[in-house]
Structure 1
């Protein structure tokens, strides 16, 4: 059986990062973070695409880039 995977666009990763730092954009972002963490614990994969790396590479602020998803 194939391992399930879910693609998340970069804006979703940014919202998840904010929720993880207790500054969610919307209250529902905290629920999404919980769901992603639960899915990850259940072996669901969340791959990053080359586009993610290209977009992160455009970030000029080193602090902001360090906070980007890996």
Structure 2
């Protein structure tokens, strides 16, 4: 993986983290985050899964 790809990945992760921080603990669904940060849903999901594994976010599975 080259440095540019790594940098873009980190930028995406921080965009997601910053969006969650701005929501002040109110959380957000993957679709909401996708719209807010303009990143594909699969990418947001992958980044959230990693952040969850590292203990930075908690994923809640809510059924409608």
Q: What's the TM-score once normalised by structure 1's chain length? A: 0.32
Q: Higher RCO, 1 or 2 (CA under 8 Å, sep at least 6)?
A: 1
Larger Rg belongs to: 1
Q: Which structure dedicates a bigger proportion of its chain to helix?
A: 2
